[in-house]
């Protein structure tokens, strides 16, 4: 069974790749920072909401917040991504 810390990092790994893909970018992590605000002491659903702060030719900066099912802030995340490639079938702007 995965530990809570492993689950946090699995969520963050998914969110930044999906966020990059939403604008047609294949990304790899350059820098990752997560600030834990509050612990999770009971079973709950964790949600990560992210948005792109910068989307350039070769880098992308993504900010995110992780909340529990009661909308309590669990952590904040800041990730700098390297744009490795582009998905030709996904537009950079919707």
Residue-wise pLDDT tens digits, 22-49: 899 999 999 999 899 998 888 888 888 9
Residue 55 or residue 91, greater confidence: 55
What is d(CA 49, CA 91) in angstroms, rounded to the nearest whole number? 21
The SS3 assignment for 14 reads helix
Q: For a pLDDT cut of 70, what percent of the chain falls above it? A: 86
Q: For residues 42 and 39, give the distance between their C-alpha atoms in angstroms, rounded to a whole number.
A: 9
d(CA 84, CA 76): 25
């Amino acid at each position: 069974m995965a530990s809570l810390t492993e689950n946090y990092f699995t969520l963050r790994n998914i969110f930044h790749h999906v966020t990059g893909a939403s604008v047609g970018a294949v990304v790899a992590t350059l820098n990752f920072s997560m600030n834990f605000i509050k612990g999770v002491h009971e079973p709950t659903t964790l949600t990560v909401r992210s948005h792109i702060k910068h989307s350039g030719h070769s880098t992308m900066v993504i900010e995110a917040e992780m909340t529990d099912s009661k909308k309590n802030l669990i952590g904040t995340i800041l990730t700098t991504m390297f744009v490795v490639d582009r998905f030709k079938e996904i537009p950079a702007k919707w």
